[in-house]
Amino acid sequence: MKSIGKTPDFTAFLHPAALAVCLIGVLMPIPAESAGLSGHLMELPTFPEVIRVLTLQDYNTRVVVIGTTLLGLAAGLVGTFLLLRKRALLSDTLSHATLPGIALTFILITHLGGEGKNLIALITGAAVFSVLGTASVILIQKYSRLKDDAALGIVLSVYFGFGIALLGIASRMETGTAAGLSSFIYGKTASMLFFDAVLIGATALGSAVVCIILFKEFSLICFDYSYAATQGWPVIRLDFLMMTLVVIVTVIGLQAVGLILVVALLIIPPSAARFWTHRLKNMLILSGFFGALSGLLGSAFSALMANLPAGAVIVIMAAVVFFLSLAFGSASGLLRQLIERRRLSNKVAAENLLRELYEYYESRGSTPSTNQVTTNIHFNHLLSARAWSSGQLHRTLKSARSEGLIQTNGNQLFELTDKGLQAAYQIVRKHRLWEAYLITHADIAPSQVDWGADAIEHVLDQEMIRKLEKMLPDLKDVKMPPSPHELAAARPV
């Protein structure tokens, strides 16, 4: 992708005078009276303050921590089904679509002489426009040729722009002040009132209970919507209920993290949980736990550090959980994948080595199936037999010797042990069975079949071997199927 505009020139900062000025600016202490925000940000909490926050001794801390923890729990549970339904971006659209509902509700109530900042009324307006935003996406997808991402982008930008325009109108009204409405954009966790926390907690807890009760039904429509419909399940109503829960969590999350960041609580915890398990039940539990943990740690850390917005810190904590899961997840984390890939690579190299030794014996007229093997193979012959590097072959031979599969007779000569002979026999037999299957059932030429067999032979289990023997009855009782290459060479032209 080409960069837009002209690339800035950073060479001016390398001038000695510029470097000196920067260094003085960094090292010079800032007076306490002029430190302002920076001075507060650098103040670390004392140990008694940490204990005071962790034990929830302060009233405001209890309100905020409990409210955000329950919100994270509900968002994690609901977000799991949202992620599995492949509607992650829909939550972002819903959150942005709430802004015109909030602003329009404020304008109408203020114009009618009421209290424009009534929380219940504002949340109701946000919920209505969130549903309208969802309906707009569905209509665009149904009656136009636009893709899903285009429909989501159109609805998100139009509704958010409409909301910003209404917010500007509300801020210039003479009958009421719109100060504080912008908190719905960025959140106001630290100034959460008891009523706000009770509303968030009760709604979040109710949403979590519904997710647990309808776990089986939601799971069914997430994994196979068409099958659920053919079985008579009310899939439309279940899907509508699921999206209603998403709307509810999105709307109540506006008070905590704002409409811009609420999508993070819905998507990040289930995404992190996906790296730890392949089972939906475990994923749901982990997602709820990660969401609650993010809310707890974020609000507690914000209480300890002055001038840090709690909503942003909650999302940062969720991101930390995500990246830790991405790296160390036991199901599909990067470290687990690296270990599995290395293990498979070592297994493939060892099996290729044993197969090469076995087929070398066969070419010398030995009978490895009866343990009458006296042929040794030189290192250079093994090196030229496959696309091995010298270092890789040395490592593979060393590993095979440590497992007792091969032994060396000096001068770089190697032979199979009895244990290695039995292992090589099984490996070659699997390879030959798969080759025979590809020739007879997949119509692959014998000269080309070796490539297909090499790609799959290392993952064949005993159940698959039994199935191959049933499909190849002529080879079921044969100790070692013949090589297809030798059969092809023996055929008359």
Q: Which of 310, 325, 385 is nearest to 355 (CA)?
A: 385
pLDDT attached to residue 232: 85
pLDDT attached to residue 469: 78
Residue 271 contacts residue 258 (beta carbons within 8 Å): no
Span 47-329 CATH architecture: Orthogonal Bundle (1.10)
Highest mean pLDDT, choosing among 151-165, 318-332, 367-381: 318-332
Q: Is the pLDDT of residue 489 over 80?
A: no
Q: Is the pLDDT of residue 384 over 60?
A: yes
Q: Which residue is associated with the tokens 């068409």?
A: 226
At 463, which amino acid appears? Answer: E
Residue 101 contacts residue 167 (beta carbons within 8 Å): no
The percent of residues in the chain predicted with pLDDT above 70, rounded, is 78
pLDDT attached to residue 273: 94
pLDDT attached to residue 276: 94
Number of Cβ within a 10 Å radius of residue 464 = 14
Residue of higher predicted confidence among 413 and 373: 413
For 309-355, the pLDDT digits (tens) are 777 888 899 999 999 999 999 888 999 999 999 998 888 888 888 88
Q: Which of 164, 108, 168, 159 is nearest to 131 (CA)?
A: 159
User: Residue 48: phi, psi to the nearest 5?
Assistant: -60, -35
The percent of residues in the chain predicted with pLDDT above 90, rounded, is 9
Q: Is the dihedral of CA 28, 29, 34, 38 positive or negative?
A: positive
In whole angstroms, give the CA distance from residue 140 to residue 131. Answer: 14
Residue 427 contacts residue 355 (beta carbons within 8 Å): yes
Q: Which of 333, 313, 221 is nearest to 272 (CA)?
A: 333
What is the pLDDT averaged over residues 6-30? 40
What is the pLDDT averaged over residues 260-265? 80
Q: What is the largest CA-CA distance in the chain?
A: 102
Q: Is the pLDDT of residue 81 over 80?
A: yes
pLDDT attached to residue 485: 59
In whole angstroms, give the CA distance from residue 249 to residue 204. Answer: 7
What is the pLDDT averaged over residues 123-128? 85
For 216-260, the pLDDT digits (tens) are 888 888 888 888 888 888 888 888 888 888 888 888 777 667 777
pLDDT attached to residue 325: 95
What Å distances lie between residue 438 and 422, 432, 455, CA to CA? 25, 10, 12
Contacts for 361-364 with beta carbons within 8 Å, 24 or more apart? 361/416, 362/483
Under the banding of pLDDT at 50, 70 and 90, the label for residue 368 is low
- The tokens for 37 are 């925000």
Under the banding of pLDDT at 50, 70 and 90, the label for residue 124 is confident
What is the pLDDT averaged over residues 293-298? 90
For 437-470, the pLDDT digits (tens) are 888 877 777 766 666 666 677 777 778 888 887 8
What is the pLDDT averaged over residues 173-200? 67
Number of Cβ within a 10 Å radius of residue 298 = 31
Tell me the domain boundaries of the chain.
47-329, 333-493
Decide: helix, strand or coil at residue 408.
strand
Q: Is the pLDDT of residue 138 over 50?
A: yes
In whole angstroms, give the CA distance from residue 136 to residue 155. Answer: 7
Q: Which of 447, 273, 419, 420 is nearest to 360 (CA)?
A: 420
pLDDT attached to residue 169: 82
Q: Is the dihedral of CA 54, 55, 59, 64 positive or negative?
A: positive
For strands 377-378 and 406-408, give the pairing: unpaired
In whole angstroms, give the CA distance from residue 234 to residue 227. Answer: 12
Sequence-distant (≥ 6) Cβ neighbours of residue 30 within 8 angstroms: 38, 39
Domain 333-493: state its class.
mainly alpha
Global pTM reads: 0.73
Q: Is the pLDDT of residue 429 over 90?
A: no
Q: Is the pLDDT of residue 158 over 80?
A: yes
Q: Is the pLDDT of residue 262 over 70?
A: yes
Under the banding of pLDDT at 50, 70 and 90, the label for residue 414 is confident
In whole angstroms, give the CA distance from residue 110 to residue 176. Answer: 6
